[in-house]
Amino acid sequence: MKVNPIDILPDEKSTSDEWVAFWNALKKVYGESAAKIEFIERWSRRGASGAADVVAVQDGTGLTLSKGFIDEVRATASHDVALLTGLFDTMGKGTKIVFWAGIGLAVLLVGGVVIRVITLSSEEAGVVAGTAAKAFV
């Protein structure tokens, strides 16, 4: 069973084991890169007087929890966000309108197909299945 990291959000009173469990859950759900960013963000908000032993958390996670490392992870995360934001900002107003219109059209089309499939009668479903079978023979 997958553990949702939100179910085990640690805070300043959390033990080292709880921080390591949080790290492992993040890694399973989001992958190591995204997990590192979220873990560091949460760790830096815990306050200087946290109950967790820094060395035990470092050993359990394999991360270096020094100020320099935390600043480096934050810089990488903000660089990635700035890159995506910059890409969107370079689009002209007309391109953005076309982009969002395309997203809206895709949502409408997919929604229409889903609604049509859900509302098929048994006879119509048989006709569709027979037509599809003929197409692939």
Half-sphere exposure of 95 (CA within 13 A, CB side): 6
Q: Which of 52, 40, 54 is nearest to 16 (CA)?
A: 52
Q: What is d(CA 62, CA 52) in angstroms, rounded to the nearest whole number?
A: 15
Domain parsing of the chain, residue ranges:
1-90, 92-137
The CA–CA distances, whole Å, from 105 to 99, 100, 110, 115, 127 equal 10, 9, 9, 15, 28
The pLDDT profile of the chain, 137 residues, written as one tens digit per residue, is 566 666 677 877 888 888 888 888 888 888 888 888 888 888 777 766 666 777 787 788 887 776 665 666 666 666 666 666 666 666 677 777 887 888 899 999 998 888 887 887 878 878 877 877 777 76
User: What pLDDT is stored for residue 107 in this prediction?
Assistant: 92
